[in-house]
Amino acid sequence: MNAADPAPGSLPLHSVAVAGAVIRNDGRMLAIKRADNGQWALPGGVLEIDEAPEEGVRREVLEETGIEVEVQRLTGVYKNMARSVVALVFRCVPVGGSERTSDESLAVSWLTPDEVTARMAEAQAVRLMDALSDDGPHVRIHDGRQLITPG
């Protein structure tokens, strides 16, 4: 380390989150209406220190929706530039459970792609749309609501 480098521990840190893009055989996608801000989003949250990303996805989806999932693949990495959060989004399929709300969700619903784009902010909707494509994983940045074009 040279004199121009910041001292260890003084750098700002990122939070790592995981989310499940849960898609049924009929093409409907699992979404929650968040209790903290009333916005529609994918179920997910902060990855715990001692868990693998896939474990975190299964835990978060179950906690917030009552749905058990099988994790298939990583579909995108999304950085919220305003909040320093990096989210790993995984495509999942439901394998059990039944829809229910939680302390973190006011509503749980299976939405069509058109309903996703109509109800969700662009930064959330793109995560589900990316999960439908086979050309990922996608890497995107946003401000919490809209995508930011790098450059």
pLDDT tens per residue across span 90-148: 999 999 999 999 999 999 999 999 999 999 999 999 999 999 998 889 999 999 899 99
Q: Is residue 9 part of a domain?
A: no
Whole domain around residue 26: which residue ranges?
Answer: 15-148
pLDDT at 6 over 60: no
What band does 12 get if pLDDT is binned at 50, 70 and 90? Answer: confident
Number of domains in the chain: 1
Distances in whole angstroms, Cα of residue 71 to Cα of each of 66, 96, 150: 15, 13, 30
pLDDT 10s digits, 46-103:
999 999 999 999 999 999 999 999 999 999 999 999 989 999 999 999 999 999 999 9
What is the domain-level CATH number for residue 48?
Answer: 3.90.79.10
- Provide the 8-state DSSP code for 131: H
From CA 33, how far away is CA 109, in angstroms rounded? Answer: 8
pLDDT at 13 over 90: no
Sign of CA dihedral 126, 19, 104, 96: positive
Q: Is residue 40 part of a domain?
A: yes
Q: Is residue 6 part of a domain?
A: no
What band does 14 get if pLDDT is binned at 50, 70 and 90? Answer: confident
CA 79 vs. chain centroid, Å, equals: 11
Q: Is residue 1 part of a domain?
A: no
Q: Is residue 107 part of a domain?
A: yes
Q: Is residue 64 part of a domain?
A: yes
Q: Is residue 68 part of a domain?
A: yes
From CA 148, how far away is CA 146, in angstroms rounded? Answer: 6
Q: Is residue 112 part of a domain?
A: yes
